Amino acid sequence: MSEELLAILVCPEDKGPLELVDDGKFLLNPRNGYKYPIRNGIPVMLIEEGKKYRDPNFA
């Protein structure tokens, strides 16, 4: 994923910035633990997807 795209993508829940994690397979919201999958190079920015893959270590 390009740095330009990463810079403009935000979490649909809180509108905050995201981090690329898991070897580029997910975008992580470090504030709520939601992880948005990247499928075939396309980020799936649905809140339901973020909740489904939520980081289990997030408090």
30-45 pLDDT, tens digit each: 999 999 999 999 999 9
What whole-number distance in Å separates Cα of residue 56 and Cα of residue 5? 26
Host domain of residue 11: 3-52
Confidence of residue 59 (pLDDT cuts 50, 70, 90): low
Q: Please, what is the Cα angle at 42 between 44 and 50, to 5 degrees?
A: 20
**Residue 58 within a domain:** no
What whole-number distance in Å separates Cα of residue 41 and Cα of residue 25? 9
> What pTM was estimated for this model as a whole?
0.90
Domain count, the chain: 1
Q: What is the CATH number of the domain that holds 35?
A: 2.20.25.10
**Residue 21 within a domain:** yes
**Residue 34 within a domain:** yes
